[in-house]
Structure 1
């Protein structure tokens, strides 16, 4: 009887230890402490519930993390039980004895120890499952909060029309604080009577979804808002609340308006083009175009997307070859001209490919222009060009005849003129005996007129030759002062006859240039002779020469009648006279300045005139200077 009592007492003590262990571990589960602390607390409490607690040690392995008592070591006297979480093994619970017990003793790991370990592992698995679900829910709530707060829509959740939640976007739209919004009615922010009816209508009329747009004035500016409302129904289809989203679509609306205006502008521009623009698909159907008033196709055919060759070529089948087909096959721009046998108009066709996303040709744009008038103009222009070319050849022939005539005329006139001038000068010099005053006067007139006639012939021939670029120059190094002195000697008698003082200020330096010894003095003869003609009796003519900016510069200045400013640009024109009276009063043929300009420019120089009416004239001539060496 005593033995039974001792056995029962031992069993009761063991059950007591197991219950104490289970209650202690349950307290840990209920405390919601961190997982690591929980597992460490479990392994510390398990040995106390074993039969030989002084020799027991425990270890928990979970997700490759190990938690064990300090004295734990692997021995042959061990029991291990797997830990299952959601049906999968996540680790195990190990209990060991660090020493072997005598065989007669009730050994370790009987069913009671295993039952205890099963209870602990089962409870631990459920706790881990619960914690996993809680963490997932917490993570989901965090993600929801992030989405909720960072959503670009002004989100608020309402129940029976009262706002319970709202995010930062909503507060930003209306410029309010969260305290001002929570507890307010939805209709305070949604300016839409229909939404009010949706919120408070009967159960049978609950809408699955409602959307509206409206304008509102917020913080002194007008905004455009869009609201969405999704009602929440119970299992009995009663309205329990809902979710309402508000978005500020002011920018979108402005962009839509701008795009619409741009579209209208492009459409108006497209339709206002004088040329015809046609979009054609691969089957040669006209997809769209800016049809003109001079209709190429009936309105009935327009509606069924006619073929392009029906509209413009007036054919029942495509041309062969077809320029539109060529564009679809080659991907290159094609051009063509076609004269319609129906209306007789000539049109220019330019077709360009339109490529899709895969770089394949999806359509072609045909640019059609009526070039009938242009072709007629080109034909008339070609005819005029041919007529002008014929006239030009005729003029060239006449010009050659003129040159030949002038050359022959000079030759024919020079022979008798040279004889007249020669004998007249012999008479003037007294070679054939003395002359009385009347005879001297007559001979002087003959000599002067023969010289003038000779000069006129040379001027006419030069003007004719220079026009065709046939003047031949013999350029050589010469002194500018020599040309001036030569010219002074030739016209000095004319100056003397009018008692005009002709002064030449000899330059202190040597002024060299490359020039023709016959033609350059002729320039100064013409210029000085002009100065003598237009300077009154007893007037003055001053000549000067100097070097300036790499040029030799000659100036002929007189105190004659001068020239009006409006006449200066015309002075170097061929045969130009300021007025008809100039020719009668002063003589001349209008070629002197023209010839001078041609000769100076052929020498690489420049000539210009400065004058003021009634205050004299200055003529400037510059030529490229050269060094003595």
Structure 2
């Protein structure tokens, strides 16, 4: 009875697991069902537990734990071990035929694992077939392989690509003839030829209008025959190549444009290979090689250098060896022309130099111009040196002239001033008037000599200043005092407005007063009798700002830009009426700018003139 009860448990376990196999349930559910049913077939089912490990996935009963009382069976699929079935007792169990288990229980486990392996093998094959079918459908639907046709040229299958090209539903295409979609008479002959003339492959391109638009298609036809005498059908691939055709046309246009541009270049362009053979060229301005000779890809040194062998060193070989751009010039002994050669490397896919492009330009005329220009430059350099020598002689002459004139002028001025002061006796009014004129004219002549010498030395920046801290008011008052007698002669009022506090600047105590003497002298010169001259100074934005203002004849606006040029006179009438040498404003500008300042003029014709001077201010 115990044996019968044991066999009954085993049969119930086998039947329940067989039901799971026949139900085609998912694999995970199948394995969980097997695990939960196996313990019931054991002798001591109340303390039995099971586990299945398959492809690193574990399925086990809720009470499973590893114990010493166990039995394990391999799960083999297609000859490969993919897992294990393990049966354990949770409590100590006496030793039986197979560990703590009976032989019958071992046979039952082997039978279950064997059946499970076959089920897994079948499901693996089914999954592979399903995957293959899915892949086939995906490939067919997404590929340009458009249709299958039978031996009569009737379409039996088509994919989305074909539907998209023609814009038709599937039901309008299946059952239609292939010739309704392929505009090619030759294909009809291919489809209905005799068995001996069946082509292994046929390809054609043609244009059609679909939905009113021109479309360019390419068709491939591969016939299928079951025997040498029977045509069973075929596969037809129809692809829309409109875009690629347009790209080819655009590329061809670009190629033609590039060729036209290449041939239109006035310079000679040559493509050379590593053996120095001419691969291609526009052959511009090259008459020493015939069109027939060009077809044989002659050497570049033969065509353009007119040599029997390469130059040493060869500028083209240097490009191939170094990868650097090279330049050289060469005068041909054949035609006497000088040409400039520039060679550029052409890199291949592996970044190696496969070709060289040589740019050749006729520079004969340019070289001639450069030679003439070089000769002119040398002549100008010599002329410049001569001018420098003349300028030096001029400076020396002016310096000597000033020295030679100063000696008698100093004597004349000295004795004149002694006579003026009555050192040699009392003068009558006529004598006093005459001696006054002599003294004034000698002073003006001395000032003129100083101005000429300054204009000469300042041009080369050779004026030497002795900068020191001085008060601006001292320079202004010195100028006012020196020019007061001159102002009195014309009954001109000299007014000045200077700040009470000291305003200081870094300046030369001899040269800076000369600026204000020149400005006041100009103001007196161009101010009518009984006029007014105002001289003011103030501090402004870290600078000293002085203004000499008169109510004289004024200056026209178009004459203002040229006033500070050396020896400049507004017009000849001014020279005759007012005198002057045109150096006063020039000298003033040089001195002020050498002191780091600025000078400018504001004037209105018939109203008057303002001369502005700014200098850097310093603290006490």
Asked if TM exceeds 0.5, the reply is yes
Instruction: Give the corresponding residue for 1:561.
Output: 553
- The 3 A distance-change label for structure 1 pair 483 and 83 is closer
1:366 to 358, 368, 373: 358
Instruction: Give the corresponding residue for 2:271.
Output: 279
| SS state at 2:184 partner | helix
- The 3 A distance-change label for structure 1 pair 256 and 527 is farther
- The 3 A distance-change label for structure 1 pair 479 and 544 is same
| SS state at 2:255 partner | helix
- The 3 A distance-change label for structure 1 pair 125 and 591 is closer
Shift of 1:609: 1.2
Instruction: Give the corresponding residue for 2:396.
Output: 404
Check conservation: 2:149, 2:178, Cα contact below 8 A. Answer: no
Check conservation: 1:233, 1:241, Cα contact below 8 A. Answer: yes
Instruction: Give the corresponding residue for 2:71.
Output: none
What TM-score comes out, normalization by structure 1 length? 0.76
Instruction: Give the corresponding residue for 2:326.
Output: 334
Structure 2: distance between partners of 1:531 and 1:84: 124
Shift of 1:505: 0.7
1:227 and 2:218 aligned: yes
| SS state at 1:481 partner | helix
1:414 to 406, 427, 436: 406
Instruction: Give the corresponding residue for 2:70.
Output: none
| SS state at 2:146 partner | strand
1:613 and 2:608 aligned: no
Structure 2: distance between partners of 1:256 and 1:301: 32
Gap regions ≥5 residues in structure 2: 1-15, 38-51, 60-73, 85-95, 98-102, 105-111
| SS state at 1:278 partner | strand
Shift of 1:89: 11
- The 3 A distance-change label for structure 1 pair 195 and 530 is farther
1:514 and 2:499 aligned: no
Instruction: Give the corresponding residue for 1:155.
Output: 146
Structure 2: distance between partners of 1:575 and 1:550: 33
- The 3 A distance-change label for structure 1 pair 453 and 185 is farther
Structure 2: distance between partners of 1:548 and 1:188: 99
Check conservation: 2:21, 2:30, Cα contact below 8 A. Answer: no
1:451 to 438, 443, 446: 443
CA deviation string 1:386-445 (max 9, x = no partner):
222222222222122111111111111111112222222333333334434433333232
- The 3 A distance-change label for structure 1 pair 196 and 525 is same
1:300 and 2:292 aligned: yes
Structure 2: distance between partners of 1:121 and 1:436: 159
Structure 2: distance between partners of 1:237 and 1:592: 120
2:339 to 344, 347, 350: 347
1:493 and 2:493 aligned: no
Structure 1: distance between partners of 2:264 and 2:322: 31
1:202 and 2:197 aligned: no
- The 3 A distance-change label for structure 1 pair 324 and 87 is same
- The 3 A distance-change label for structure 1 pair 184 and 442 is farther
**RMSD of aligned alpha carbons:** 4.7
Structure 1: distance between partners of 2:263 and 2:156: 52
- The 3 A distance-change label for structure 1 pair 620 and 260 is farther
Structure 2: distance between partners of 1:429 and 1:84: 145
- The 3 A distance-change label for structure 1 pair 123 and 497 is closer
Check conservation: 1:198, 1:206, Cα contact below 8 A. Answer: no
Instruction: Give the corresponding residue for 1:588.
Output: 580
What TM-score comes out, normalization by structure 2 length? 0.77
1:240 and 2:230 aligned: no
Structure 1: distance between partners of 2:53 and 2:309: 82
Instruction: Give the corresponding residue for 1:431.
Output: 423
Instruction: Give the corresponding residue for 1:57.
Output: none
Structure 1: distance between partners of 2:595 and 2:113: 120
Gap regions ≥5 residues in structure 1: 1-23, 45-60, 68-81, 93-98, 101-107, 110-119
Check conservation: 2:147, 2:235, Cα contact below 8 A. Answer: no
1:165 and 2:180 aligned: no
Check conservation: 2:149, 2:233, Cα contact below 8 A. Answer: no
Check conservation: 1:476, 1:516, Cα contact below 8 A. Answer: yes
* Alignment coverage as a number of residue pairs: 566
